[in-house]
Amino acid sequence: MLLCISQATRIIMADEVGRMKYELASSTWNEEEKQAILEVINSNIYTMGRNVKEFEERFAEYFGMKYAVMANSGSSANLIAVASLFYKKENPLKNGDEVIVPCISWATTFHPLQQYGLKLKFVDINLHTLNYDVEELKKAVSKDTRMIVAVSILGNPCQFDEITRLCKENNIILFEDNCESMGARFNGRYTGTFGLVNTFSTFFSHHISTMEGGFVLTNDKEIYNLLKSIRNHGWTRGQDEDSPIFEKKGDDFFEAYRFILPGYNVRPGEIHGAIGIRQLTKLNDFVKIRRRNAGHFVSLFKDDERFIIQKEIGESSWFSFTMIINPELKIDRKRILQKLKDANIEHRIITGGNILRHDVIRYYDYTVTKSTNADIAHYNGFFVGNHPYDIRDKIDYLYKTLKNI
């Protein structure tokens, strides 16, 4: 899931952001990243090349996976990951196959599934973790279920022990959308490594930033080569020498422009790769600081009966701090949000809210098992930012602002 706090939005809000006391997001760059950009400019090589390749290799190694494919966004990573599952040789996905998804995620978790003609079955969330309600997920699995999309919401790992067991027992593909949760761990293992395909985002507001960017991780050699082709026009250029997805012909003149799949151009640029190499070295420290900030947030709000705050599973990388107004107390969210606005505390809906409540759902082929908690989060929830630097003073300011409402 690519959680978009767009630069366009921030430009529109420039005057407000200029006097914001507590922002949603902040830059993770310093002089190292600026120097990396200059080095690429001075090289006069801007399209995907050695910097992207090095970043891919380091990214795969960091997370203990065999293969990494970088794309120009987390949304594009989701797109090519879904596409790859349609073109694999054994038991590919087909138009009309049933895929289970959570009601809450970013829109481009869902759109590629719709665009490839899959039938979505929406399952409710747990109001405290914001991830799947695991009991509802178990009930949703049918003989027709081909894939489960596991989304670790806002840094918080899914219950992968239960989900992986469910997939294994029912021969179901696990697709992990980890765009919001880079650096999180479940039982000591990084999220974004449990699925057949696993996606990440390196957008501005995420755990590391390459301006725009995304990744797919996999341990499957066939899918790795499919991803590389689909990312790059669907051609054979850049394939492994022993690629299992095509047989090379003798005519090098033709091979240079041979198209084997209906692909896209979602390549990253060399600038993105160069920045990413620097950013990845900082991820561990960024997550440590986010977790320290989260400890302070939880200590202040854990006993506040007005709000349901996110319950951590495993080791969250704490993208943000969610607050859901207790539906039993009948507190008007508009009043809370106005208080935040008056205090210059930036805030927004939780990810994309419940996708079932958006106009785009009319284009989907879908069923719903239940969405009670997703609706509560959609209509009663909001989040404020977390950052890769110490913001305990901002969290104190948030607490004081909301204390007497």
The domain locations on the chain are 7-27+282-403, 31-279
Closest CA to 286 of 278, 383, 67, 17: 278
Cα 33 → chain centroid: 23
Taking only the tens place, the pLDDT of each residue in 215-240 is 999 999 999 999 999 999 999 999 99
Instruction: Give strand ranges (E) for 208-319.
Output: 214-218, 307-309
Q: In Å, what is the CA distance from 351 to each residue of 142, 182, 200, 265?
A: 28, 15, 15, 27
Q: How high is the pLDDT of residue 238?
A: 92
- Is residue 61 within 8 A of residue 193, CB to CB? The reply is no
Active site annotation includes 378: no
Architecture of domain 31-279: 3-Layer(aba) Sandwich (3.40)
- Is residue 239 within 8 A of residue 246, CB to CB? The reply is yes
Choosing among 3.30.390.50, 3.90.1150.10, 1.10.3720.10, 3.30.70.260, the CATH entry for 7-27+282-403 is 3.90.1150.10
Structure tokens at 8: 């366009």
Question: pTM of the entire structure?
Answer: 0.94
Per-residue pLDDT of the chain (405 residues; tens, 9 = 90+): 655 554 444 433 444 445 899 999 999 999 999 999 999 999 999 999 999 999 999 999 999 999 999 999 999 999 999 999 999 999 999 999 999 999 999 999 999 999 999 999 999 999 999 999 999 999 999 999 999 999 999 999 999 999 999 999 999 999 999 999 999 999 999 999 999 999 999 999 999 999 999 999 999 999 999 999 999 999 999 999 999 999 988 778 888 899 999 999 999 999 999 999 999 999 999 999 999 999 999 999 999 999 999 999 999 999 999 999 999 998 999 999 999 999 999 999 999 999 999 999 999 999 999 999 999 999 999 999 999 999 999 999 999 999 988
Taking only the tens place, the pLDDT of each residue in 186-219 is 999 999 999 999 999 999 999 999 999 999 999 9
Q: How high is the pLDDT of residue 38?
A: 98
How crowded is residue 303: how many other Cβ atoms within 10 Å of its Cβ?
A: 7
Catalytic position from the list 111, 206, 207, 387? 206
Residues 6+ apart with CB under 8 A from 17: 10, 23, 346
Bridge partner list, 339: none
Instruction: Give strand ranges (E) for 169-275.
Output: 173-177, 185-186, 189-190, 197-201, 214-218
- Is residue 153 within 8 A of residue 128, CB to CB? The reply is no
Taking only the tens place, the pLDDT of each residue in 95-109 is 999 999 999 999 999
Q: How high is the pLDDT of residue 9?
A: 44
**Residue position matching structure tokens 């966004």:** 73
Cα 121 → chain centroid: 20
